[in-house]
Each structure stands twice: as C-alpha cells, then as structure tokens.
A = this chain, B = another copy of it.
C-alpha cells in the first residue's frame, strides 16, 4: 500500500468536526444537543435568493465562466460600491465558497515555506488551507483581556523574516467577534507598506456589525491597492452556507490574472449558487436590519449569561456572531468532549468549540471556548442553563485561577 503524503499526515482535522462522533452518540441516546459549535445560522435564507433558484429556467446546466457569471460579477461590484469599496467586475473571481478564495489566494501568492502572520485566535481552517498550500502560519497572539484587539505592531514586527509574505486578518472576526477600528487598520497598512507584504482580509461578516460601530475594509486603505486581497463569501450574509459561493477580490491585475489560471483549472463555480447569489443582491435592507436586531439580542443575552456564571469571562464582541468565553476549566477539548460524552441536564447538553483549535500557539486557549450564537433566544437560554449546570459538576473544574480575572 503506497504511503499517503506528508501533507495529508500533517493536515489538521477540523477541531470542530472531530467532536461530531460524540454528538452523534449522544443524539442516539436521546440527548438533545444545542449546537453552539459551528457558524451555521438558523436564520432563514432570503426567499429572494431561494425563489430565483426555484424559478430558474435551465435546460442545459452548463459550466459558467471560470471567474463567475458576468452579470453576477457586475452586480456584485455595485454591492461593494455601496460599502465604498471601489472595485469593478474584472477585479472579482467568484469562488466555491470563501474556502476556495483562500485556497486560490494562498497558491497564487505564497511559495512553499513562505510565512503568513495571522492574529490568533483565528478561524481554524486557515491552518488547513495553509497546510494544503505549504504556507507556514506565524501566529501573533491577541488576548481575551483586551477583547482580542489587534496585537501591538511591534509583536508583528518581531515575527517578520525574509520568508514573511503576508498578513491575514478576519474582520469582523471569527472566532472573536472583534471589529477592527480604522486606527488598527491604518497601523496594519503602514506595516504592509513598510515590508511590501500581501494583506489578506476575510470580511465575510461585514453585514454583522453592532452598536453603531462602523465596518472598515482593507479596501478602504489608500495606497496599498496592489497588496490587498479581499476574501468573501455569501454563506453568512444570506445564511446560505450550502450555496458554496465566495469571492476573491483584488485591484492587483497581475495577481488576479494568475489566480484566474487556478480558477480555470477547476472550470467554474456552482451555477445554482451563483444564480442565488445574484438574486440575493436584491435582498431588502429590512432583512438585514431584522437579522442584526436578532443577533444583538442573542449576543446581549449570551454575553450577560456567561459573565453571570461564576468564574466565567466573556468580552462583548462588536461583530459577527461568535464570542469567546473563558471558563473555569482545565482543558477545553476535554470539557467539550465531556459535555457530549458524559453530561446531560434533563436530557440536554450543549456543543461548543474548544478555543484551542483557533490558536496556533500550543497550549493557548486551554480554558476558552467559542460560542456561536446562531440559535434562537429560547434555545440559547436552555443552552446557557446546560452550560452553567455543567460547570458545576465538571470534574476538571478550576476553582481559583481564572475566577479572579473572570471579573475583568
């Protein structure tokens, strides 16, 4: 039997999905699980989008253009303009989800062994895509005490070597919910200019900014047009994860021409997803207002409930639909597994994502979990009850250490 590749051995299993077998067993035993572990919103997909797919009049389901259907890209450019992102259809390659936008970007920009600095905690699959593309991730640590604000630029500079080729951020952030300020982004801009690096920005949560805070895109930063790549997806925007439609966007023509070659090799992105994505651009503003109001209530409820639990601390995020909580526990991986394997409260339990999977630094995030507030308020209430009860009886509970800073 031939060996699998070293890359296949090194490739990290999804830290979220690896708990799935435990959840399946619990479900089979009749336990109801509140899924706060994955960014799969319960919000309904806009009917504008689904109806367009249902009413499509396709006779031959053909390949589309490798860069995506032209009419869709043109309308998408208008969508970005409404966020003061000044791009044209030819600056866009429609991808199969944000995932493919990341995969193509890494292959286009990075040589094997090149380094990518990412503030951690970060979306776990960045590790997978980097491994697949032989890119070395250099994490720069952000901390729960500051709500996961941008680390000092000096911390980035410490990591810069001749191999450093780019910086990647997620804004608003998954898993932190942190929203970068204009000032923070200006600092990144100066850094990117100084070392002539690529700046990759995953901005799939731009519609989810709260408390009147404004979304600033890397595309708003002047003078680094040729360095900036915007990574996008419609999965969260329209609660349309299954459409598998994303986008890679840059004003750098040479880069986009090279990226198109990778896009051509895989022929085209999914047609029905594109039809849906194009129609979804007509989604009324009221849809987003309603959704945002819902997420704000959920966030407020969850963050308050968490901070009211003894020894728990959760900073209030300004965007996306995640928060990271520090719990009085020894090991988040064991705790999350224990919740599914050994615990239930009135035949209910909660599935969380251990934050360890979002840190690249070994040992970081051991007492943190990511909570996706993607369930309705009543379910969230039940989930928080489960979590509180679980923390009372979890054998690996830490009594003191984190309880003190839990009042930060």
Q: Is A59 at the interface (CB under 8 A from chain B)? A: yes
Q: Is A393 at the interface (CB under 8 A from chain B)? A: no
A125 vs B263: C-alpha distance when bound (angstroms): 11
| A239 / chain B contacts, CB cutoff of 8 Å | 60-61
Contact-size category for A: 35 or more
Contact B14 A63 (CB under 8 A): no
| A166 / chain B contacts, CB cutoff of 8 Å | 2
Contact A267 B2 (CB under 8 A): no
Interface 0/1 of A240-268, CB less than 8 Å to B: 11111000000010110011011011111
Q: Is A297 at the interface (CB under 8 A from chain B)? A: no
Contact B265 A243 (CB under 8 A): no
Please give me the residue from chain B that is nearest to A126 by CB atom. B265
Q: Is A147 at the interface (CB under 8 A from chain B)? A: no
Q: Is A132 at the interface (CB under 8 A from chain B)? A: yes
Q: Is A401 at the interface (CB under 8 A from chain B)? A: no
| A268 / chain B contacts, CB cutoff of 8 Å | 241-242, 244
With known contacts A270-B273, A272-B272, A259–B8 Cβ distance under 8 A: yes
Contact A111 B242 (CB under 8 A): no
Q: Is A128 at the interface (CB under 8 A from chain B)? A: yes
Q: Is A175 at the interface (CB under 8 A from chain B)? A: no
Contact B241 A2 (CB under 8 A): no
Q: Which of B7, B258, B269 contacts A244 (CB 8 A)?
A: B269
Please give me the residue from chain B that is nearest to A273 by CB atom. B270
Give chain B nearest CB distance to A95 CB in angstroms: 10
Q: Is A194 at the interface (CB under 8 A from chain B)? A: no
Specify how many copies of this chain sit in the oligomer: 2
Contact B109 A5 (CB under 8 A): yes
| A42 / chain B contacts, CB cutoff of 8 Å | 60
Contact A264 B50 (CB under 8 A): no
Q: Is A343 at the interface (CB under 8 A from chain B)? A: no
Contact A11 B258 (CB under 8 A): yes
Give chain B nearest CB distance to A268 CB in angstroms: 7
With known contacts A7-B111, A265-B99, A271-B242, A2–B59 Cβ distance under 8 A: no
Contact A50 B58 (CB under 8 A): yes
B-binding residues in A (CB < 8 A): 1-2, 4-9, 11-14, 17, 38, 40-45, 49-50, 53-56, 58-64, 66, 96-97, 99-100, 103, 107-112, 114, 125, 128-129, 132, 134, 165-166, 196-198, 226-227, 235, 238-244, 252, 254-255, 258-259, 261-262, 264-273, 276
10 A-B pairs closest in CB distance: A242-B271, A128-B265, A8-B258, A272-B272, A270-B270, A99-B266, A14-B264, A1-B226, A244-B270, A61-B242
Can you list 5 residue pairs at the A/B interface with Cβ under 8 Å? A1-B254, A8-B259, A12-B261, A132-B262, A134-B134
